[in-house]
Amino acid sequence: MLEVQNIYKTFNPGTINEKHALNGVNLTLEDGDFCTVIGGNGAGKSTMLNAVAGVWPVDSGRIVIDGEDVTGLPDFKRAAMIGRVFQDPMTGTAATMEIEENLALAARRGRRRSLHWGVTRKERAEYREKLKILNLGLEDRMTAKVGLLSGGQRQALTLLMATLVKPKVLLLDEHTAALDPKTAEKVLNATETVVNRDHLTTLMITHNMKDAIAHGNRLIMMNEGKIVLDIRGEAKKNLTVEDLLHQFAVQAGEEFASDKALLG
Ligand SMILES: Nc1ncnc2c1ncn2[C@@H]1O[C@H](COP(=O)(O)OP(=O)(O)O)[C@@H](O)[C@H]1O
Ligand SMILES: [Mg+2]
């Protein structure tokens, strides 16, 4: 479903701020693969997701989504294929609009916009069912303005919006990192439910090694713009945080810097 082939990306080339952010990244995800992504600060995790989303052109390499070479396509032309959720709960939803209006906008992603985008009864029933899955009681607040919701509720809604039209690839960039641990767990559970139900091909960056182990069927570790570890199947199921900390120390030559990795 997703092929990342030998991707390179250098920021500010030829200047004092030159940064080789991606140094030959190769990754193939099968349909329905749920891959967690870990690595230290600046390892290139967000840059890899941005490359897949087409935020800027890569320097070399190829990106193929569901058999289509999208390497030359700008992000807005890939938008119909990709769902994204970022760290900041304030982005991704429109605060001054109602929950159901936000969902109606998301439902029209990749389609021609029509002037008549009011919510139909049929859509309302569909949204209600989908909101129930989140287990946050949002199905009873569908005409509430999104600005009134908590950060966790907004992230869960953003997740729903990103997946309302089934994306070929779902990209989650530390989407629970700004939430308190309890709320983060709720949003992660909602993520797990949606990804499994819709068999979504997913890349999920997380600082939390326990989460990286507990979710998905595959785990990759990045360091200095490369994938340095790729674990799947039974090997992934048997992983421990200690294994990952050890691997990190071996790969990066230093201790993992974040306390968050050990929380939970
Ligand atoms: N748009 C940008 N312009 C310049 N440098 C960038 C940009 N995006 C990322 N970088 C740099 O590339 C490296 C990788 O960043 P990033 O992919 O965000 O790391 P992380 O693994 O923490 O998500 C970092 O050194 C970062 O400062
Ligand atoms: Mg990042």
Q: What is the pLDDT of residues 175-217, one digit of tens each?
A: 999 888 888 998 999 999 999 999 999 999 999 999 999 999 9
Residue 250 has pLDDT above 90, yes or no: no
Q: What pLDDT, on the 0 to 100 scale, is given for residue 117?
A: 63
Q: Which residues have CB atoms below 5 A from the ion given as ligand 2?
A: 45-46
Mean pLDDT across the chain, nearest whole number? 90
**Of 17, 19, 50, 174, best ligand 1 pocket probe by most atoms within 8 Å of the beta carbon:** 19
Residue 68 has pLDDT above 90, yes or no: yes
Residue 262 has pLDDT above 90, yes or no: no
Query: Among 27, 52, 40, 25, which residue's Cα sits nearest to residue 207?
Result: 40
Write out the two tokens for 252: 């990066």
Q: What pLDDT, on the 0 to 100 scale, is given for residue 259?
A: 54
Cα–Cα distance measured from residue 49 to residue 39, given in angstroms and rounded to the nearest whole number: 13
- Whether 155 contacts 85, CB under 8 Å: yes
Residue nearest to atom 12 of ligand 1 (CA): 21
Q: What pLDDT, on the 0 to 100 scale, is given for residue 158?
A: 95
Residue 264 has pLDDT above 50, yes or no: no
CA of 159 to the centre of ligand 1 (A): 24
- Whether 127 contacts 103, CB under 8 Å: yes
Residue 128 has pLDDT above 50, yes or no: yes
Residue 261 has pLDDT above 70, yes or no: no
Instruction: Give the pTM.
Output: 0.92
Ligand 1 atom with minimal separation from the 174 CA: 23
Cα–Cα distance measured from residue 116 to residue 192, given in angstroms and rounded to the nearest whole number: 34
Q: What pLDDT, on the 0 to 100 scale, is given for residue 26?
A: 97
Q: What is the pLDDT of residues 86-116, one digit of tens each?
A: 988 888 899 999 999 999 988 887 666 665 6
Q: What pLDDT, on the 0 to 100 scale, is given for residue 130?
A: 92
CA of 150 to the centre of ligand 2 (A): 23
Mean pLDDT of 26-43: 96
